[in-house]
Amino acid sequence: MRTYEFWADKAAGLSIRNQAFIGGQYVDALSGKTFSSINPATAESLVQVAECDGADVDLAVKVARDAFEDGRWSNMHPAQRGKRLMRLGDLIMEHREELALLESLDMGKPVSDAMAIDIPGCARAIHWYGEAADKLMDEIAPTDPSALAMVTREALGVIGIVVPWNFPLMMACWKIGPALAAGNSIVLKPAEQSPLSILRLAELASEAGIPDGVLNVLPGFGETAGQALGLHMDVDMIAFTGSTQVGKLFMQYSGQSNLKRVSLECGGKSPHIITQDCPDLDKAAAAAASAIFFNQGEVCTAGSRLLVDRAIKDEFMEKLSRASASHVVGDPLHPDTTMGALVEEGHMKRVLGYIDTAKAEGATLTLGGTRTEGRAGYFVDPTIFDDVTPDMTIAREEIFGPVLSVLTFDGEEEAIRIANDTIYGLAAAVWCRDISQAHRMARALRAGTVWVNCWDPTGDMTVPFGGFKQSGFGRDKSLHALEKYTDLKTTWIQL
């Protein structure tokens, strides 16, 4: 086990990439401007980072376009593209400690989680699409025998990728993997709070043999660099993960510019349903606590609405309280810490604001509810509200912090009604022994993923991930993700 001293030492000796990565080179922003990247666990600045804007976006898109058009990557044998992606996956694992530390310092998550979950998840995604690169066949359509009609998938061209700060490298890798496997070029804008791990990844991609100009990374702000990418006339697609509010802006940018394709992985308010037929209340309680406290609750699929059947409510709440005690706020570099800092001061205040609103609206606080004492950074204690009703603000809005809303229901029908009473549809779970009821409920839940008798159990790449309703559209992970980075072409040959 790596100790706190190990990580503190490593942090002291860390050299941080802080420039934009364009055409295979680290460069300053054209304006020369920089912004501060803060460590939210200490509230201190880590490093000044290049602040790219529209001019840098123009430059990077031109570089990415040239790379696409001359075929250095797009026309490479798919098996060769796959090989280089495999090498990149290996390099991610070889640099696992450094990348995990960058992730933790930049956005506050426990370094042990970044080591165990984020970085291996990134490598798995890149490996998976590397393996897939030369495994996809196109189609011959069953036309009249007088013709031969081929249906082929072609890379789109230049992909703009815009990602959030909660899993900075993993959200990027879920998109980089399939976009590169399909032969596209990329201009990626990380969240302003978390550019550091992705900037390092760009260099590893070069080392893996991904040609210059194919993967470009521009740190900067959403309102400038992000918007410029969204409005750019020569970007063929935006692959976005972030809030529903900003997702809607990317739809507008597309309509105002070149009708670029848009895929959106947006917010959630996922219901976690414990029926009276739950096969294991202890296991369900442990899952319910992890579902909201993992990654400080900064998870798009957080199980933020816990729906418990009245018949087992008291027994379950006792078990939940015991399970929650194992979630401990602490220094993200300490190996025992399971909850780190929230990403920035403004976000912490927003989360604390929701806690005030919940009290004012009459919910009952049963755990936490305050900023963690004795720490300079932006830490909030694990928080649970009981007696939440579906109309309360904390049952409706995405908090993106360690705040659980507990709602009570009577029977299957009411559970489904409450669960689906939301603008979101990212994920849902139901705990239930009866296979017929489990299937019935899974079918009735309006969500892109439904878990039965578990909550987000694996980082499995084989299944698609994405939302219904205002949680967005388009899917990350699985072979389906490749669809959005390609267009279908029909070539009809009259014989």
Alpha carbons 100 and 83: distance in angstroms, whole number: 24
Which of the stretches 5-13, 17-25, 84-92, 237-245 binds ligand NAP when contact is defined by CB under 6 A?
237-245
**CB-CB contact of 212 with 23 (8 Å):** yes
Nearer to ligand NAP, 248 or 439 (CB): 248
Active site residue 300: yes
Q: Which of 51, 103, 192, 265 is catalytic?
A: 265
* CB-CB neighbours of 381 under 10 Å: 19
Beta bridge partners of 308: 274, 408
Of 121, 164, 332, 377, which one interacts with ligand NAP (CB under 6 A)?
164
Total residues interacting with ligand NAP, rule: CB under 6 A: 31
Site string for ligand NAP, 40-69 (x = CB under 6 A): ------------------------------
Binding flag, residue 34, ligand NAP (CB under 6 A):
no
Of 14, 27, 43, 249, which one interacts with ligand NAP (CB under 6 A)?
249
Of 157, 230, 271, 401, which one interacts with ligand NAP (CB under 6 A)?
230
CB of 491 to ligand NAP, least distance (A): 35
Of 189, 269, 305, 319, which one interacts with ligand NAP (CB under 6 A)?
189
Alpha carbons 464 and 260: distance in angstroms, whole number: 22
CB of 223 to ligand NAP, least distance (A): 5
Binding flag, residue 267, ligand NAP (CB under 6 A):
yes
Nearer to ligand NAP, 157 or 168 (CB): 168
Q: Are strands 237-241 and 261-265 parallel, antiparallel or unpaired?
A: parallel
Listed residue (404, 409, 428, 408) closest to 324, CA to CA? 404
Binding flag, residue 426, ligand NAP (CB under 6 A):
yes
Nearer to ligand NAP, 183 or 401 (CB): 401
The binding site for ligand NAP (CB under 6 A) comprises 162-166, 171, 189, 191-193, 221-223, 226-227, 230, 241-243, 246, 249, 265-268, 300, 398, 400, 426, 467, 471
Active site residues: 265, 300
